[in-house]
Structure 1
Amino acid sequence: MSMVLGAQQSAGLGVEVRGFDVDAVTPAEIERLTQTVYRDKVVVLRDQGDITPAQFVRLGRMFGELVSYHEPMYHHPEFEEIFVSSNVPEDGKQIGVPKTGKFWHADYQFMPKPFAFTIFSPKVLPAKNRGTFFINMAQAYEALPDELKDAAAGTRCSHSVRKFFKIRPDDVYRPLGEVIREVEEHTPPVTFPTVMEHPVTGEKILFISEGFTVELHGSDDPDLLDKLFEATGQLDTEFTHPLIHQHGYESGDIVIWDNRTLIHRALHTTTPAATVSHRVTALDDHPLYARAL
């Protein structure tokens, strides 16, 4: 295999790889890709339009232990490891869930073991206005004024899915209070340090997101969490904040990113258009963080 790795993307976030072949890649090359994701945060594998769902799952397993999403309605019909976002019915049936991720978040931030890697494959792309916004939360932490760094030090944050939980087909006609109680029982809030050290790179990460972070503990300032959201660009509805990077997809892309460091938000079309994407998510051999800060 002739794999060309390390060409910097013109937009400035991550690197692109050409010549990748999932059936020929070696363990040494996967290790090199893994270290590149840790270092550069995003790796784009170009020209992967022919990859099958089975190959996609196999690719994911090369990076670590795959975790199927906890709600089955998101699952691919043949491979439960694949999370499907789609507004295109197949044989008259809804496959996956449409319009996912339209809020700032890190995948599974509301669970005890958030993922190390997200591996994303857009399968059907509209002509325009489809992509992902990213914020590098290590850069965001470094950009904070000293008073906010000092205020965040030693605090902890709780994360929950309750703000953006999607109603399931079986929830129709159920009392809302019953649904909320079930969500809280199955996915109770989890708490992590507000600032943590990346276990591989040693970077200081601000581990919060507007979509999943619901409460900050250990501060006398009741507005501290909102101040951190504001400072990091997560309340910017125009997406012009200097920390926000917009990534557009090309047909055949597979995008791998560091889910510890990056938060993301889907860019959806404003008018009806067919969109389908597949995603697998993997744990690595490291703890979520090296130490709390």
Structure 2
Amino acid sequence: MPMHVRPLTPTIGAVIEGVDLAQGVSADLAAALRQELLKHQVLFFEGQDLTPVQHRDFAARFGALHTHPLYPGVPEAPELFTLDNHAGNPTDNDAWHTDVTFIETPPMGSILHARLLPPNGGDTIWASMKAAYEALSPTLRSFLETLDAVHDFARGFPQRGIVANAAGADKHAQALAEHPPVLHPVVRTHPETGEDALFVNFGFTERIKGLRRKESDAILHMLFEHVTRPEFQVRWRWTPNAIAFWDNRITQHYAVNDYLPARRVMIRATILGERPYHRSRRPAEALAAE
């Protein structure tokens, strides 16, 4: 059966049918999936009964993998990590965020596999930051393109937070020391498509460099609200063994926390990306690659 792509909205999201990822991913299939990812920003696959090793190997087709400094790894494939949420370990992902923007080279993508689902609820929502950017006025877009923002590990993973407590004080302190705040452009140019998109998120963006705190807070608050508009979104209702593969460079997502005290277990692979830039301030390494 040939691969079939079924778009879910005109803006973001598509279901990939006719593909069994457990059979392995050829170079041709990986290239085809990358093109669909660039077009739709998040891809969904249903009925994919992958082992953690198969999950890891699928993700590794698209780049080197990131190992999270706090979440528990998977024994068979330690590059992956488990999100196991229930009444005794509620989720901390019920806020809009882009994954791991607290490092210099944030992920190009993430691949999430549904292993155990609650009887009801537990959906995930993705939003297109390209659509969010394009919906702003040209004057505001021009202003934002000149700005950089601070992304901070400590904002997303505070010392007394759920994940920090589960990881332990020593592990959190080590992760904090290894991840000082970093600067990224407020508007990012996608390195493969050349599209511009907002690149600030509630989860990790602490402030805008060069502005007074009240100015920064006001602009970030407006942008954090703006990106949640329904027309930028696709909502995915998980089914057993479904997979979501999203382009982390141009999306945000939100795990809907409506299923407790039921249990929800997901496994994630995170694919490293490149240093973000805006076309007006392109780094030397990006120019050399062209």
- Shorter chain as denominator, the TM-score bin is 0.7 to 0.9
CA deviation vs aligned residue, 1:26-61 (integer Å, no higher than 9, x gap): 21111010111112101111221x211111111111
Q: Pick closer, same or farther for the CA change 1:245–1:19 going to 2, 3 Å.
A: closer
Q: 1:219 to 1:32 in 2, by over 3 A?
A: same
Whole-Å Cα distance in 1 between the matches of residues 258 and 56 of structure 2?
27
Task: Look up the match of 1:243.
Answer: 232
Alignment-mate amino acid for residue 15 of structure 1: A
Kindly report which structure 2 residues correspond to 1:219-234, keeping only aligned pairs within 5 A, or say none: 219=211, 222-231=214-223, 233=225
Aligned to 2:122: 130
Q: Secondary structure at the match of 1:233?
A: helix
* CA deviation string 1:207-229 (max 9, x = no partner): 10011000101346843453344
CA contact (8 A) 2:8 2:234 kept: no
Pick which of 162-171 and 149-158 moved more: 162-171
Task: Give the corresponding residue for 1:85.
Answer: 83
Q: Relative to 1, partners in 2 of residues 1:183 and 1:287: Cα closer, same or farther, differing over 3 Å?
A: closer
2:30 corresponds in structure 1 to: 30
How much has 1:128 moved relative to structure 2? 1.9
Q: Which of 195, 198, 203 is the matching residue for 2:195?
A: 203
Q: Secondary structure at the match of 1:59?
A: helix
Distance 1:270 1:6, change over 3 A: closer
Cα distance, 1:66 vs. partner? 1.3
Counterpart position of 2:13: 14
Amino acid paired to 1:131: D
- Do residues 148 (structure 1) and 108 (structure 2) align? no
Which residue of the other structure, out of 164, 168, 173, is the alignment partner of 1:167? 164
In 2 relative to 1, CA 291–10 (structure 1 residues): closer, same or farther, beyond 3 Å?
A: closer
1:75 aligns with one of 73, 76, 84: 73
Q: Aligned AA for 1:106? A: T
Report the residue type matching 1:210 in the other structure.
Answer: F
Change (3 A) 1:143 1:10: closer
TM-score (structure 2 length as normaliser): 0.84
* Structure 2 unaligned residues grouped into runs of 5+: 158-162, 282-290
Q: Paired residue for 2:55?
A: 56
Answering whether residue 105 of structure 2 is matched by residue 113 of structure 1, we say yes
Q: Secondary structure at the match of 1:249?
A: coil
The CA deviation at 1:168 is 3.6
Classify 1:25/1:211 alpha carbon distance in 2 versus 1 (closer, same or farther; 3 Å).
Answer: closer
- Contact 2:90/2:260 (CA < 8 Å) preserved in 1? no
Deviation at 1:76, TM superposition (A): 1.2
Residue matched to 2:279? 291
Q: Is the 1:154–1:218 Cα contact (8 Å) retained in structure 2?
A: no
**Alignment TM-score, normalising by the size of structure 1:** 0.83
Query: How far 1:288 sits from its partner (Å)?
Result: 3.6
- 2: distance between equivalents of 1:54 and 1:98? 27
Question: One-letter code of the match for 1:259?
Answer: N
The one-letter code sitting in structure 2 at the alignment partner of 1:255 is A
Q: Secondary structure at the match of 1:60?
A: helix
One-letter code aligned to 1:118: S
**One-letter code aligned to 2:164:** I
Cα deviation code 1:72-109 (max 9, x no counterpart):
x42113321111001379xxxx9xx7514222211110
Amino acid in the other structure paired with 2:40:
D
Q: Which has more helix, going by share of residues? A: 2
**1:247 Cα shift?**
2.1
Give the count of matched residue pairs.
Answer: 275
Q: Kindly indicate whether the alpha-carbon contact (under 8 Å) linking 1:209 and 1:229 is maintained by their aligned counterparts in 2.
A: no
**Could you tell me the percent identity over the aligned residues?**
26
- Would you say the 8 A contact 1:197–1:292 is kept in 2? no
CA distance in 2, matches of 1:45, 1:269: 23
Change beyond 3 A, Cα 1:234–1:124 = farther
